[in-house]
Amino acid sequence: MKLEVCVDDALGLWAAVKGGADRLELCSALSLGGLTPSFGLMEMAAGCGVPAYPLIRARSGGFHFADDEIAGMCADIRAARDLGLEGVVLGALRPNLQLDLLALEAMIAAAGAMDLTLHRCIDLCPDVEEAVEEAIGLGFSRILTSGGAKTAAEGVERIARMIEVAAGRISIMPGSGVNEATWPLLAGLAVEEVHASCAVALKSDRVLKGFGFETGHEKRTDAAKVAALKAAIGAPAA
């Protein structure tokens, strides 16, 4: 069982590596669900010894992107590709919440031979069976999903249905709220990889919060939590 850990800063990156993560998802602003990471973080990850996949998301909010936003995301993808990063995490929706095939095709073309993950935009799709088939057709290797719920544990039934539809043609990777305590609720799923932040809350600074320099809810990946979840997902089923 592989463990993918999402990180949004350099300290979190090295904590994930130390804890034994099998793959990294690189982001900024995880408090907003994740945005495109900085070039500096991508460059650092390129030499960290663990496969690293940047999330490509231009802004917070919905996943329907204008042409200029798509062009900018394609430039970010090419930058990641030029750094030698192994894969990339993509997603885009039409206004009706179906996958935006044209936008995704443009980003996939920019990725070239990079491995492809479809992110949790799929959790908003009204017809998940159609979305899984479209992801397969586009050439994605995996789908990150919480099963249309806030957490993967809450969406476990839909995740199971997605696995059934996928029928081994694409990996379904549970993510959101996955930790050592919630893993037993997901352990019965026929999955080969799982996604988590393994984060702990950071101490808030009243002055910084007052100036608007932090939200007061910042978190960072913790090596011990990574190691604990890695051990949990590798343990034999009870």
pLDDT tens digit string along 83-121?
999 999 999 999 999 999 999 999 999 999 999 999 999
Do residues 158 and 176 make contact, with C-beta atoms less than 8 angstroms apart? no
Is the overall model pTM greater than 0.85, yes or no?
yes
Helical segments of the chain, H only: 10-19, 39-46, 67-82, 101-111, 128-138, 156-166, 206-210, 223-234
Q: Domains along the chain?
A: 2-234 (3.20.20.380)
pLDDT tens digit string along 163-216?
999 999 999 999 999 999 999 999 999 999 999 999 998 888 888 878 888 887
What distance in Å separates the CA atoms of residue 131 and residue 126, rounded to the nearest whole number?
Answer: 9
